[in-house]
Amino acid sequence: MKKQLFPLVTADIALFTLIEERLSVLLVQRANEPFIGQWAIPGGVLDPSTDSDLEQTARRILQSKINVKPGHLEQVKTVSGAVRDPRGWSISILFSALLPADQVPAVVGDKTQAVQWCDPQNCGHKLAFDHQELLEAALEGLRKKVRNRALPLHLLPSKFTLTQVQRVCERVLGQELDKGTFRRQLRENADLVELEGEYVRGAQRPAQLYTAAPGFVFKDA
């Protein structure tokens, strides 16, 4: 066997959004070996001739394969080793990306691959490579930030109600939150800007609309 001097380097992305108010992650069906036909999180190989860094690799893959520009992209961790990819020694830099619910493309991907939005906790597929572990790490990273009071506003449309903020946090955490406590915490939060005079009318009284503060970043409070 030929000695492998260089590792294979890929960026893999857990892309989260809300589909019908449920937290969802994108899976793609692999069109090539290895693991042809199996489902995986989207990813691709680093191209040093075009990518300025690995964040750029991830953005290029999302743009070219899925036709999306995420509102938020961050590194989760790097996995590596001689055995995780049958092609040889490999490194995967795992990213987590958030896509606003109103920016989900009607058709994602191209004709060469099937795609699917799945429940990240129970995707119903045996994933290729170590992607099950990667998906779990990305979900846990997202949950940890929300537990530490970061607001995943990049999953919401640009205007939203406080009820929507609570709902998206609940969907990420997988559990209901006490409304009184949650509202009290939001009051101290400078990430939200009230949109003066803008309301949503529903069955109940009109609900104030908010938007993310300029320069908002999804990070721990």
- Give residues in contact with a copy of itself (CB under 8 A): 3-7, 9, 46, 48-49, 51-54, 75, 77-82, 88-89, 91, 93
Q: How far is the CB of 157 from a copy of itself (least distance, A)?
A: 31
Q: How far is the CB of 4 from a copy of itself (least distance, A)?
A: 5
Of 85 and 100, nearer to a copy of itself (C-beta) is 85
Of 97 and 162, nearer to a copy of itself (C-beta) is 97
As a whole number of angstroms, the distance between CA 130 and CA 137 comes to 11
Determine whether 84 is exposed, middle or buried from the number of CB atoms within 10 Å of its CB (0-12, 13-18, 19+): middle
Q: Rounded to 10 degrees, what is the CA torsion of 131, 136, 140, 143?
A: 100
Of 66 and 93, nearer to a copy of itself (C-beta) is 93
Peptide bond into 152 cis (omega under 30): no
Of 48 and 197, nearer to a copy of itself (C-beta) is 48
Q: How far is the CB of 83 from a copy of itself (least distance, A)?
A: 8
Containing 61, the helix (H) or strand (E) segment is: helix 54-61
Query: Any bridge partners for residue 19, and if so which?
Result: 22
Q: How far is the CB of 97 from a copy of itself (least distance, A)?
A: 16
